[in-house]
Amino acid sequence: MSRILSHFFIVSIVVSGACSIRSGDQTASSTPLPSPTAAASARPSATPDATPEETAGQSATLQCQNLKAGKHKVYKKQTFAIDFEPFRNSCFVSTFDPEYGSDPPVQSEYAIYKNGEKVYDFPGQFNGANFGCWVDAVSFQDLNADKRNDVIVIGKCSGKSDTYNENSVFINDGNGFATRDDANMQLNELTTIKQVAGFVEENRSMFF
């Protein structure tokens, strides 16, 4: 009987020691891990340079779309941030008169704004049509290889039975934009930016 008790006592000591060892291991493994916040704060330094620029561009366009334009409303679909001479850090803003509705946004105008203020009105908008027109598409590209961005506007107007196009090309002269009504009249059968740019390339003498 005493032998059995002795054996039981030895087993108890071994088990007790094993428990204390496991307890010690558990305590060691509970050492706090490095804070995830510190790791996250290091990410911006490793971000490619293009990513912040792209984000800033999107933010600038959103700022342009939220401009106040007096009694007119900004047509956000055709309003964009621009950043080329002579209008650095500016906005191409298309607006419409809400009195006439927004689908489509007839009675539209387009201009360049900077710091929330209109700084430039494009000449000869919609080739002189002064009612029922809106911007359907716009593009900023160098059409005559002078390293200045020109502007193509695809304009739509409401006719008696259907819509028709009033497209325009504006050439950047370093101070503003010039346009030729006679040349623009040759564009009205075209419906896309690509078609207009191709026509200008093939008929440069009409526009430059």
Instruction: Using CB atoms within 10 Å of the CB of residue 126, give its burial: 0 to 12 exposed, 13 to 18 middle, 19+ buried.
Output: buried
- Whole-structure pTM value: 0.72
The answer as to whether 21 is a domain residue is no
Give the list of residues 6+ apart from residue 4 with CB closer than 8 angstroms, or none.
Answer: none
Quick: pLDDT tens for 87-129.
Answer: 999 999 999 999 998 999 999 999 999 999 999 999 999 999 9
Q: Which of 153, 148, 165 is nearest to 83 (CA)?
A: 148
The answer as to whether 14 is a domain residue is no
Looking at the DSSP bridge assignments, the partners of residue 171 are 178
The answer as to whether 1 is a domain residue is no
The answer as to whether 32 is a domain residue is no
- Percent of the chain whose pLDDT exceeds 90: 69
Task: Return the half-sphere exposure (C-beta side, CA atoms, 13 A cut-off) of residue 120.
Answer: 18
Could you count the other beta carbons within 10 Å of the beta carbon of residue 169?
25
Range of the domain at 193: 50-207
The answer as to whether 107 is a domain residue is yes
Quick: pLDDT tens for 20-60.
Answer: 333 333 333 333 433 332 333 333 323 233 333 344 456 89
The answer as to whether 134 is a domain residue is yes
Q: Which of 15-24, 34-43, 76-85 has the highest mean pLDDT?
A: 76-85
The tally of domains found in the chain comes to 1
The answer as to whether 99 is a domain residue is yes
Give the list of residues 6+ apart from residue 70 with CB closer than 8 angstroms, or none.
Answer: none
The answer as to whether 54 is a domain residue is yes
Mean predicted confidence (pLDDT) in 56-65? 82
Q: Round to the nearest angstrom and report the end-to-end CA distance of the chain.
A: 117
Q: Which of 129, 200, 202, 131 is nearest to 169 (CA)?
A: 200
The answer to whether the bond into 86 is cis (omega within 30° of 0) is yes
Quick: pLDDT tens for 131-190.
Answer: 899 999 999 999 999 999 999 999 999 988 899 999 999 999 999 999 999 999 999 999
